[in-house]
Amino acid sequence: MDEAHTTDDVADDVQAEPELISVVVEDDDAPDQCTIFHPESSGVDRMSQWITAETDLFVDLYSVR
């Protein structure tokens, strides 16, 4: 008989809060930019798996829940 898998099984394998790195680039002539990426990525992965936005567009997760 096959075992039934629930969403709880999946949740056990996933970190509650993934660890990411953020780097802020300040610019006097333009809005500051924040780039977020996974610290273990490198090469092509790092070049293709990131997000950048103006810093004032980010909000604290817990303040908007």
As a whole number of angstroms, the distance between CA 20 and CA 50 comes to: 10
Structure confidence at residue 2 (pLDDT): 53
pLDDT for 9 beyond 70: no
As a whole number of angstroms, the distance between CA 58 and CA 12 comes to: 28
Structure confidence at residue 8 (pLDDT): 57
Structure confidence at residue 26 (pLDDT): 96
The pLDDT tens digits of the residues spanning 12-57 come to 666 666 699 999 999 999 999 999 999 988 889 888 999 999 999 9
Structure confidence at residue 14 (pLDDT): 61
pTM of the model: 0.60
Read off the tokens for 23.
């780097």
